[in-house]
Amino acid sequence: MEETNIISPTNFLGLPEKFSRRDKARFLILPVPYDQTVSYVPGARFAPRAIIEASSQIELYDEEMNSEPYLAGIHTLPAIEPIVSEFTEMVKKIESVCEPIVGENKFIILLGGEHTISLGLINTLLKQQKKRAEKFAVLQFDAHADLRSSYQGSKYSHACVARRILDMKLPVVQVGVRSLSRQEREFAMKNKLLEQVSMWQVNTNSMEKVITHILSLLPPKIYLSIDVDVLDPSIMPAVGTPEPGGLGWYQLLRILRAIILSREIIGCDITELNPLPGYVAPNVLVARLVYKIIAYIQHARE
């Protein structure tokens, strides 16, 4: 690939038009620079731009899968301008952008922004699946359980996103959780739609065992929601609410690869990056993570 635009990429990976045209693209990147309810350090609104900028550094050849995933076409949509007055309006706006794309059978990757934006795409996919008996599950990678019924006066705080997904009667499997309140723990124990694989479980078992366990909890169809604070702060310090002791890069990739190669992924979001000025490694990590997910999905289709 000789033509990538490394000066100022306007699309993910800085791909030339041939590989980033909307009509030909299998993957659509949808930037959602929204961080209205962030409770500790704001700034996730700057993430989509930082990720797209960092993506120009990503090698287009994937050495692990021995593939060139960009050949499937990756189009970057215009960012959704935030509505800050009412979160339900923001969700509706995300839905209105996602609906036609889901209808076209293209794969959407939401780039947050804060975690609550997941609800827009999950709502859209749920409406589309309504007529079918078999429901998808939401696989949430997160340091936090996000199970509060409301937080700081809002039902739509990023601390409540898993609770809102459960309100939709969708099964949720959480991986990497290491910070939650007693009430959240008690709620989790009682709720039959929810399964948690805590960071303690990940760290005290072999990866094979952890992966087998996660797979045993998952139905055939999966929505993937990755809050990047699931990663260890040593490799992902750029988050609004960091927690020590998270997943390593290869741990996350091994789990993702096993899941994507054995389940159908119907949509994905990556949220809560909070770029640190002058420190680009976390931005590059997220850009690479997006491209790894695309590589695994492409591999699974072959």
Residues that bind Mn ion (CB under 5 A): 142-144, 227, 229
Q: Cite the DSSP H helix spans in 21-160.
A: 47-55, 87-103, 118-129
Least Å from the CB of residue 62 to Mn ion:
27
Q: Which residue is nearest to Mn ion (CB)?
A: 144
For residues 16 and 233, which CB has a smaller minimum distance to Mn ion in the complex? 233
Residue 257: count other Cβ atoms within 10 Å of its Cβ: 19
Compute the least distance from the CB of residue 236 to Mn ion, in Å: 11
Q: Measured from the CB atom, is 53 or 142 closer to Mn ion?
A: 142
Least spacing, CB of residue 199 vs Mn ion, in Å: 12
Count of all residues that appear for the chain in the document: 302
| 144 vs 164, beta carbon nearer Mn ion | 144
Query: Please, are residues 236 and 285 in contact by the beta-carbon 8 Å criterion?
Result: yes
Shortest distance in whole angstroms from residue 46 CB to Mn ion:
17
Tokens, residue 184: 């959240």
Least distance CB 242 / Mn ion (angstroms): 9
DSSP string, 15-39: --HHHH-TTT-SEEEEEE---TT-S
To 10 degrees, the CA torsion angle through 262, 123, 51, 86? Answer: -160
Give the nearer residue to Mn ion in terms of CB position, either 14 or 246: 246
- Least CB distance from residue 263 to Mn ion, whole Å? 23
| C-alpha span between 175 and 142 (Å, rounded) | 6
Its sign, for the CA torsion 148, 153, 155, 156, is negative
Q: Specify the residue, 195 or 227, whose C-beta has the smaller distance to Mn ion.
A: 227
Taking the least distance from each CB to Mn ion, the nearer of 72 and 143 is 143
Q: How far is the CB of 56 from Mn ion (least distance, A)?
A: 27
**Residue 270: closest CA among 287, 256, 258:** 287
| C-beta closer to Mn ion: residue 144 or 263 | 144
H/E element holding 294? helix 281-301
Please give the Cα distance from 153 to 141 (Å, whole number).
Answer: 25
